[in-house]
A and B are shown apart, each in its own frame.
Chain A
Amino acid sequence: MSGTFVGMPSFPTAARGALADETLRGNLRYATHTIRDKRAKAVAELDDWALLREAGKQIKDHTLRNLDRYLLQLEEAVTAAGGVVHWAADADEANRIVADLVKATGESEVVKVKSMATQEIGLNEALAAEGISAYETDLAELIVQLGDDRPSHILVPAIHRNRGEIRTIFASEMGKWGRAAPDGLSDAPGELAEAARLHLREKFLRAKVGISGANFMVAETGTLAVFESEGNGRMCLTLPETLISVVGIEKVVPTWRDLEVFLQTLPRSSTAERMNPYTTMWTGTTDGDGPSAFHLVLLDNGRTATLADETGRQALRCIRCSACLNVCPVYERAGGHAYGSVYPGPIGAILSPQLRGTGSEIDASLPYASSLCGACYEVCPVAIDIPEVLVHLRDRVAHQGGRGHFLERAAIKAAGWVFEHPGVLAAGERAATATRKLHPSRVPGAGAWTNSRDLPPMPPESFRDWWRRNRSQGAAPAGGRKDDGS
């Protein structure tokens, strides 16, 4: 089940397919605009939103600056509360740790809480290779998994699917993995949710191992927190005997008091709710209550390298709310799959090339997948200046070599020389205006522009020539004008 993003083409190529898919564009437009408007209302209810945003940013920055200390404090607290902490430098190590832990229980099935970290490392595929079936229990993740599909949104991974498509997937696929969908299933949301509920309930009651991520980890007590809407997370976190949580190292916050900020900003930014329906918090293990074994796998996987970059490190503030996806005009049209990562949209465009490096075609193209319109920065609840990081990463890509960028660098250098010499610039402008009647609206070699857009007509003269004729010293007598009204 569920595909991977390995070997993705560059963003412009991948986006082309989405742009041609009218159904997909309709689904995305409707969904993103709905969530976008709801979020704006939910945020506008709070008078102190700007202060909460600033507080969230400062808490994250403080924690990241002292990450080593807080992680060790967290490890100590989790261990004291009966949990076991594992450290994973990369995806392979994390997957191996989890697979070994599951195998040690003797189980071949696990239920999963929606988790970005486990998707980032391809845990389901790694477990499948070891003969372990991992069942997603979040409704949208279930749709993606049953459809052998990839997520296209952080919070709403099946945002690219409409009700009719979901009905088809449920009707044909559920029976292959457990309880089949009821006969005569319609595309009414209530019926679809009920089919998922019945299908999943069997898995919750049978599972001995649960796997989760976490939205936050509190260093002072070793407490983990999962924010969710459906209750499936609560099931997975409380029913199994063994709970394994795979969490990125940047998810730690120092104290419970810090959580107070994110308890307000995360739900309003993500689902546009004042409070999310289920917030589950647990500290190690408790006799007779919940899992009797708890393992925390702390995941680096490129985060330490990202932390070393003074401009790029702000991406680690991200609390995965998806507000930036929902306002992004590029995401709305290109869809999530074009970003070639479980992290799509503006945050994905700055996170993936940092976590994975800029070596692959897709990762080198992601920093350019933005018009720098700034809508993402405006809504980010932890004030990540995404346009700033995009430009910073473009600088990295442009100077790392490659033929395309060799030619671009040469062009930039030539333009720089012209702009150092206004006389040359003026001569060029005169040449362009003199030949203006000859300029076609479609220029060979300029297809990237002229395939879809006409070029503006060139004016009869440049501004600087007009100025010279009409305003520069000696050109115009005092009080007189020689404007030609061009």
Chain B
Amino acid sequence: MRVALFVTCVNDAVYPATGIATVRLLERLGVEVDFPEAQTCCGQPQYNTGYRRETVPLARRTARVFDGYDHVVTPSGSCAAMVRDHYPAMGDSAAAAFAPRMYELTEFLVDVLGVTDVGAYFPHSVTYHPSCHGLRLLGLGDRPRKLLNAVKGIELRELPGAQECCGFGGTFAVKNADVSTAMGRDKARNAVSTGAEVLCGGDNSCLMHIGGVLSRESQPVRPLHIAEILASTEEEPWS
């Protein structure tokens, strides 16, 4: 099977390790991965800040970049939700037609490839934060958990208040910085309370926010994208 990777602008610029892990993971599972280099941003930040009409050209562009691929895989729940939920209502036929071909990574693994054990090895304690867009917009359900449960050596710990928003919310994080930070601190405190080494999630923008709080408060919990855990093997372990 041949798929296109939509790495997302945040992962491209700030979290390339997540993109690299996604490529290695998919290739290990026998999937041929393309990276159309003309891709940029899905338009989510602009759209959610109130710039809907300004987002339409980006949506049309993204649809064009991925033309010809039946499956486009992205390691981001919120970018996948942006394409799947909002592209169809933008009044652009190309964007609407493209929307259903976008898959969030864990969804692609479980639903399309039909795997839950991806042969990963990760001998660390991990707590999982299901980001809002994956949880409530995409309805990822227990897919990420099924994948994590099958990882060899992992010790999963329950995150208290897991379903509550971390407070990132795109430009909300700066437009309402005080409320956003209060939410982030509560999420960070809950993560620390589990005693886990790693806080795992499917959206690096949320992890950037929670991680920023953890780092400022000198907490030892390390935020990590689920792709990096699933890519880790005994031969090539995450470090």
Contacts from A to B (Cβ < 8 Å): 11-12, 15-16, 19, 329-330, 333-334, 367-375, 377-378, 391, 393-399, 408-409, 412-413, 415-416, 418-420, 422, 425, 429, 432, 441, 448-449, 451-456, 458-459, 461-464, 466-468, 471-472, 483, 485-486
Q: Which residues of A contact B15 (CB under 8 A)?
A: 456, 459
Q: Which residues of A contact B208 (CB under 8 A)?
A: 456
Q: Which residues of B contact A372 (CB under 8 A)?
A: 48, 132, 169-170, 172
Q: Which residues of B contact A472 (CB under 8 A)?
A: 35, 37
- Beta-carbon contacts under 8 Å, B195-239 to A: 208-209, 211-213, 215-216, 236, 239
Contact partner of B57 (CB less than 8 A), chosen from A370, A416, A418, is A416
Q: Tell which of A15, A418, A448 has the most Cβ of chain B within 10 Å.
A: A448
Contact partner of B177 (CB less than 8 A), chosen from A441, A448, A471, is A448
Q: Indicate whether A371 sits within 8 Å of B184 (C-beta atoms), given known contacts A329-B164, A391-B50.
A: no
What 8 pairs across the A-B complex have the smallest Cβ distances?
Answer: A371-B169, A394-B50, A453-B212, A373-B165, A398-B50, A463-B16, A463-B19, A448-B174
Residue of B with least CB distance to A405: B50
Q: Which residues of A contact B39 (CB under 8 A)?
A: 422
Does B29 make an interface contact (CB < 8 A)? no
Query: In the bound complex, what is the Cα–Cα distance between A372 and B20 (angstroms)?
Result: 29
Contact partner of B16 (CB less than 8 A), chosen from A415, A416, A461, is A461
Contact partner of B46 (CB less than 8 A), chosen from A377, A399, A412, is A412
- Beta-carbon contacts under 8 Å, B162-182 to A: 163-165, 167-182
Q: Which residues of A contact B71 (CB under 8 A)?
A: none
Q: Indicate whether A463 sits within 8 Å of B7 (C-beta atoms), given known contacts A419-B41, A422-B38, A458-B14.
A: yes
Query: In the bound complex, what is the Cα–Cα distance between A396 and B171 (angstroms)?
Result: 16
Residue of B with least CB distance to A368: B175
Does B51 make an interface contact (CB < 8 A)? yes
The binding surface of chain B is classed by DSSP as helix
Q: Indicate whether A429 sits within 8 Å of B183 (C-beta atoms), given known contacts A373-B165, A452-B177.
A: no
Residue of B with least CB distance to A371: B169
A364 CB to nearest B CB, Å: 11
Query: In the bound complex, what is the Cα–Cα distance between A413 and B46 (angstroms)?
Result: 10
> Is A467 a contact of B35 with CB atoms below 8 Å?
yes
Query: In the bound complex, what is the Cα–Cα distance between A416 and B54 (angstroms)?
Result: 8
Contact partner of A416 (CB less than 8 A), chosen from B48, B49, B58, B182, is B58
> Is A453 a contact of B176 with CB atoms below 8 Å?
no
> Is A463 a contact of B12 with CB atoms below 8 Å?
yes
Query: In the bound complex, what is the Cα–Cα distance between A37 and B33 (angstroms)?
Result: 44
Q: Which residues of B contact A467 (CB under 8 A)?
A: 19, 23, 35, 37
Does B90 make an interface contact (CB < 8 A)? no
Q: Which residues of A contact B212 (CB under 8 A)?
A: 449, 452-456
Q: Tell which of A369, A452, A453 has the most Cβ of chain B within 10 Å.
A: A453
B239 CB to nearest A CB, Å: 8
> Is A12 a contact of B13 with CB atoms below 8 Å?
no
> Is B136 a contact of A449 with CB atoms below 8 Å?
no
Q: Which residues of A contact B16 (CB under 8 A)?
A: 459, 461-463, 466, 486
A348 CB to nearest B CB, Å: 15
> Is B175 a contact of A12 with CB atoms below 8 Å?
yes
Does B137 make an interface contact (CB < 8 A)? yes
Residue of B with least CB distance to A396: B50
Q: Which residues of A contact B49 (CB under 8 A)?
A: 394, 398, 408, 412
> Is A456 a contact of B17 with CB atoms below 8 Å?
no
Q: Which residues of A contact B38 (CB under 8 A)?
A: 422
17 additional A-B pairs beyond A16-B178, A373-B164, beta carbons within 8 Å, are A12-B179, A19-B179, A330-B183, A333-B182, A371-B167, A372-B170, A373-B165, A373-B169, A412-B49, A415-B46, A416-B46, A449-B174, A449-B177, A453-B181, A454-B211, A459-B15, A483-B20
Does B146 make an interface contact (CB < 8 A)? no
Query: In the bound complex, what is the Cα–Cα distance between A413 and B55 (angstroms)?
Result: 10
> Is B17 a contact of A374 with CB atoms below 8 Å?
no
Which bucket holds chain B's interface residue count? Answer: 35 or more
A469 CB to nearest B CB, Å: 11
Q: Which residues of A contact B35 (CB under 8 A)?
A: 464, 467, 471-472
- Beta-carbon contacts under 8 Å, B128-182 to A: 132-133, 136-137, 163-165, 167-182
> Is A419 a contact of B132 with CB atoms below 8 Å?
no
> Is B19 a contact of A371 with CB atoms below 8 Å?
no
Query: In the bound complex, what is the Cα–Cα distance between A19 and B45 (angstroms)?
Result: 26
Q: Indicate whether A11 sits within 8 Å of B176 (C-beta atoms), given known contacts A329-B164, A394-B50.
A: yes
> Is A15 a contact of B176 with CB atoms below 8 Å?
yes
> Is B12 a contact of A429 with CB atoms below 8 Å?
yes
Q: Which residues of A contact B164 (CB under 8 A)?
A: 329, 373, 375
Q: Tell which of B168, B173, B177, B215 has the most Cβ of chain A within 10 Å.
A: B177
> Is B178 a contact of A19 with CB atoms below 8 Å?
yes
Q: Which residues of A contact B57 (CB under 8 A)?
A: 416, 420
Residue of A with least CB distance to B185: A452
Q: Indicate whether A374 sits within 8 Å of B23 (C-beta atoms), given known contacts A16-B178, A412-B51, A453-B212.
A: no
Query: In the bound complex, what is the Cα–Cα distance between A334 and B12 (angstroms)?
Result: 34
Q: Which residues of B contact A462 (CB under 8 A)?
A: 12-13, 16
> Is B11 a contact of A333 with CB atoms below 8 Å?
no
Q: Indicate whether A371 sits within 8 Å of B13 (C-beta atoms), given known contacts A452-B216, A463-B7.
A: no
B83 CB to nearest A CB, Å: 14
Residue of A with least CB distance to B174: A448
Q: Which residues of A contact B209 (CB under 8 A)?
A: 453
**Could you name 29 residue pairs across A and B whose Cβ atoms are closer than 8 Å?**
A12-B175, A12-B176, A12-B178, A333-B182, A367-B50, A371-B168, A371-B169, A371-B172, A372-B170, A374-B136, A374-B137, A391-B52, A395-B50, A396-B50, A412-B49, A422-B40, A429-B13, A451-B177, A452-B213, A453-B213, A453-B215, A453-B216, A456-B14, A456-B208, A463-B13, A463-B19, A464-B35, A467-B23, A485-B239
Residue of A with least CB distance to B20: A466
B56 CB to nearest A CB, Å: 10
Q: Which residues of A contact B94 (CB under 8 A)?
A: none
Query: In the bound complex, what is the Cα–Cα distance between A226 and B124 (angstroms)?
Result: 56
A16 CB to nearest B CB, Å: 5
- Beta-carbon contacts under 8 Å, B42-99 to A: 43, 45-54, 57-58, 61
Q: Which residues of A contact B177 (CB under 8 A)?
A: 12, 448-449, 451-452
Residue of B with least CB distance to A367: B50
> Is A432 a contact of B13 with CB atoms below 8 Å?
yes
Q: Tell which of B7, B13, B57, B167 has the most Cβ of chain A within 10 Å.
A: B13
Q: Which residues of B contact A463 (CB under 8 A)?
A: 7, 11-13, 16, 19-20
Query: In the bound complex, what is the Cα–Cα distance between A483 and B20 (angstroms)?
Result: 9
